Amino acid sequence: MFLKNAWYCAGWDYQVSQGKDAIVARKIAGKRVVLYRKSGGAVVAMEDQCPHRQAALSLGRKEGDALRCMYHGLKFESDGKCSEIPNVEKVPEHICVRTFPVVEMDNWIWVWMGDPAKADPALISRGVGPSDPDFTTRPSYIQVNASYLLENANLADLSHSSFTHDATIAMGLAQALAKPTHKVIPRGIKTDWWVRSVPVPKFVQHLFPPGFLCDANFDVTQTYPCNWMLHFRVFTAGTATEGESDGHLVLDSWSCQAVTPRDAESVDYYYSWGVSKKTEQPGLADLLKEGLDAAFNEDKRMLEAQQQRVKEDPHFKQMGIGAADGGPARMLRVIDQLIREEQEAERPTAVAA
């Protein structure tokens, strides 16, 4: 079950070029969506099935700003109206394809899957995109065959990093032993926490003197469906104060992640890690990307096995452990409530007798 009135990330802007054949098929929250750019660059998002016989519009042809279905030749303008049917003099008004509001923000394409009247761009989760001039950022992508709810639970609790990512991005046991507090915000949770005098992750240890320790701050905003924006700063241990801090900054970075449910059992995961110009070094952004790619393959393996077990054994009574459950519990409650509220609002009102 998915929220309709929400912005879903449909990918990186560079994935939809102005190319003649650049027509991109996606599955978003269970619905097939086709994306292409008009002249001028605006992205069009349409339901990826022709209203005539459900042919795939993503197998169609761009004609100016319109998209022609290449099965029977119906031509759809970028607002979804059918402007031409071969051999039909006057196209009936009602023939059209559904379009979805689109906004590009932070180099991501965002699609609103619900009531267009409610599509407020201010609801979009903000991050730092690859084109931000103050950061050097590498975008990446992975498909994970697991529910976005398992992804939310994964991202709402970084303690797993110390185990799942021991060989890559973990800071020793620091994340497992931290006790972050999570604040519920509209459509998600916010978590801001420090770890102190901890080792740097294994995948970057060769860049530091042996035994080098650091302080680090994680400032995370996680919102529906699973948009996860992290401002991540690393300081030489003992030099950082809370808040902005004027300590010795080793790394100032943003990792921005958008996990879009394809259907109930798989997600498209668009993510990046960018280093600020002030802490940049040649090759550093590339290393961060490599580290994150490796870590997300570790998560993929873990989550896909978990998905398999949850599916095979849906009545298994999971046991809470306290500590690590705080973030996931809050985030999953937020999602559950958003969906229930939307469904109740859609229900026809009972008329009093």
Contact residues toward its own copies (CB under 8 A) are 32, 48-49, 51-56, 58-59, 61, 68-74, 85-88, 92, 94-95, 153, 157, 159-160, 162-164, 166, 173, 176-179, 301-302, 305-306, 308-310, 312-313, 316, 318-324
Q: What's the CA gap between 338 and 112, in Å, rounded?
A: 15
Q: Is residue 323 a contact partner of residue 179, using CB atoms and an 8 Å limit?
A: yes
Q: Nearest approach, Cβ of 42 to its own copies (angstroms)?
A: 25
* Complex with its own copies: residue 184 or 323, whichever CB lies closer: 323
Contact (Cβ atoms closer than 8 angstroms) between residue 328 and residue 156: yes
* List of residues 6+ apart from 267 with CB closer than 8 A: 143, 144, 146, 147, 148, 151, 226, 259, 260, 261
Q: Which is nearer to its own copies, 236 or 306 (CB)?
A: 306
Least separation in angstroms between residue 74's CB and its own copies is 7
242/312 with CB nearer its own copies: 312
User: Minimum distance from CB of 137 to its own copies (Å)?
Assistant: 29
Shortest CB 321 distance to its own copies, Å: 5
Per DSSP, the three-state class of 351 is coil
Our CB check for its own copies shows the closer of 44 and 97 to be: 97
Nearer to its own copies, 58 or 99 (CB): 58
Please state the closest distance from residue 65 (CB atom) to its own copies, in A. 19
Q: How far is the CB of 5 from its own copies (least distance, A)?
A: 20
Closest approach, Cβ 252 to its own copies, in A, equals 28
Q: In this structure, how many other beta carbons lie within 10 angstroms of the beta carbon of residue 41?
A: 11
CB of 145 to its own copies, least distance (A): 14
DSSP letters, 135-182, are EEEEEEEEEE-S-HHHHHHHHT-GGGHHHHTTTTT--TTHHHH----E
Of 53 and 118, the one with the shorter C-beta distance to its own copies is 53
Residue 99 or 125: which CB sits closer to its own copies? Answer: 99
- Rounded Cα–Cα distance for residues 187 and 6 (Å): 10
Nearer to its own copies, 282 or 322 (CB): 322
Find out whether 26 and 35 touch, Cβ atoms under 8 Å.
yes
**Cα angle, residue 142 at apex, residues 139 and 148 outer, rounded to 5°:** 115
Instruction: Yes or no: say if 142 and 296 are a contact pair by the CB < 8 Å rule.
Output: yes
Sign of CA dihedral 53, 58, 59, 61: positive
Q: What is the DSSP letter of 314?
A: T
